[in-house]
Amino acid sequence: MVLRQSFLIILAFFGMVLCGLVYLNTNQNSCKPEIIEKVITKEIRKPENFALRSSPGLVYNQPSALVSRTDVAPVTSWLAPIIWEGTFDPTLIDSIFKQQNLTIATTVFALGKYTRFLKDFLESAEEHYFVGFRVHYYLFTDKPEEVPEVKMSENHSLTVRKVPSMNRWQDISMGRMEILEKLIKDELASEADYIFCLDVDTKFHGRWSVESLGRLVGVIHPWFFDAPRNQFTYERRPESQAYIPAEEGDYYFTGAAFGGSLEDVHHLTKTCWEQMNIDIANSIEAIWHEESHLNKYFLYNKPSKLLSPEYLWRDINAGAGQIKVVRFTHVAKNNAEVRPNK
């Protein structure tokens, strides 16, 4: 009796082993090769600041966990860095990003009389903007014959695109979002890693480089960096797609400079253009046009990095205790004279 029970137990054990082997073989054979290949070859998106490797032997100042600027906020409440002079080491950060072989696309629009600002913009950019990195400027203008000859530095290039003239400066301002969306979608995917969109009536005075790179980047407006949110000139009419309620708002961002990764800026420009079209269909125009829609977007799609007003200051001679370096400013101009409509 005992012998018979032992035999049955051994038989059951070998039966279980045999079933397991059959099950494994069946599953291996049913796993199609193309599915395995897809898993292995699936593209992995490169994370922001991928491979932050410092070069051996590089000499730079020791960072401190205790000492930093105390007169400005270096980080937002959602833990995005705010870039001020004294919050980064240019030697170290340049060394890190040069290993990534990046290309920065940069768009600028110069229509009508705004072509007069091109020479200062391009010449000052070549002196201060992403020096030592690969930059491709895309200039959109209705007067390509008025584009000045400016010598490009090594790894910097300029492409001029002709666009139709417009009768209203508001349409020029808002139309940029559509052009930017199409440029990123149709051309830049294989040509650039990041993009910045900058106003032409500006001039560089100091370094603007890889410290500004991030997934989604906004520049804090120089007139509102120290103002409470109830003073922000958001769009306050609920009828507009750019509407922001009085009790909401983080920062007020300028529409004269923004950027980020191609994917994120494409989503930004596409969304803003769609929202502006809804407003147009409802016969409404946001108070500050595309800047109003940009602020609405940034409120609910938080920037991953913010640039301080150093990156678009009021005027080279305007003072503020927090501004240690003026990197980029609007230039003085007579709006009534340069704009196509008053």
**149 catalytic, yes or no?**
no
Q: Is there a domain that residue 4 lies in?
A: no
115 labelled ligand-binding: no
- Residue 136 CA to residue 126 CA, distance in Å, equals 11
**Predicted local distance difference test score (pLDDT) of residue 182:** 93
E-strand spans in the chain?
82-83, 103-110, 134-141, 156-162, 194-198, 202-204, 216-220, 253-261, 305-307, 328-330
- Residue 251 CA to residue 272 CA, distance in Å, equals 18
Q: Is there a domain that residue 13 lies in?
A: no
Q: Is there a domain that residue 266 lies in?
A: yes
Closest CA to 48 of 218, 258, 214: 214
Closest CA to 294 of 325, 333, 247, 260: 260
201 labelled ligand-binding: yes
**Predicted local distance difference test score (pLDDT) of residue 51:** 72
Q: Is there a domain that residue 36 lies in?
A: no
- Paired residues of 216 in beta bridges: 260
Cα distances (angstroms) measured from residue 112 to each of 162, 309, 334: 12, 28, 14
- Residue 145 CA to residue 67 CA, distance in Å, equals 52
Q: What angle do CA 92, 199, 82 make, to 5 degrees?
A: 35
Positive/negative CA dihedral, 86, 91, 94, 96: negative
221 labelled ligand-binding: yes
- Residue 73 CA to residue 91 CA, distance in Å, equals 23
Q: Which of 187, 291, 310, 337 is catalytic?
A: 291
The side-by-side arrangement of strands in the sheet containing 82-83 is: 82-83, 305-307, 216-220, 253-261, 194-198, 103-110, 134-141, 156-162
- Residue 259 CA to residue 298 CA, distance in Å, equals 12
**Predicted local distance difference test score (pLDDT) of residue 173:** 56
The residue type of 227 is: A
200 labelled ligand-binding: yes
Q: Is there a domain that residue 9 lies in?
A: no
Residue ranges of the chain whose pLDDT lies below 70: 1-50, 166-174, 333-342
Domain that residue 218 falls in = 75-338
251 labelled ligand-binding: no
**Predicted local distance difference test score (pLDDT) of residue 266:** 96
Of the CA atoms within 13 Å of residue 282, those in its CB half-sphere come to 15
Q: Is there a domain that residue 24 lies in?
A: no
Q: Is there a domain that residue 210 lies in?
A: yes
Query: Contacts from 157-163 at CB under 8 Å and sequence distance 24+?
Result: 158/122, 163/109, 163/111
What CATH number did the domain enclosing 150 receive?
A: 3.90.550.10
Q: Is there a domain that residue 274 lies in?
A: yes
Residue 22 near residue 30 (C-beta atoms within 8 A): no
**Number of domains composing the chain:** 1
* Ramachandran angles phi, psi of 91, nearest 5°: -65, -45
**Predicted local distance difference test score (pLDDT) of residue 189:** 85
* Mean pLDDT, the chain, whole residue set: 85
Closest CA to 258 of 272, 277, 246, 248: 272
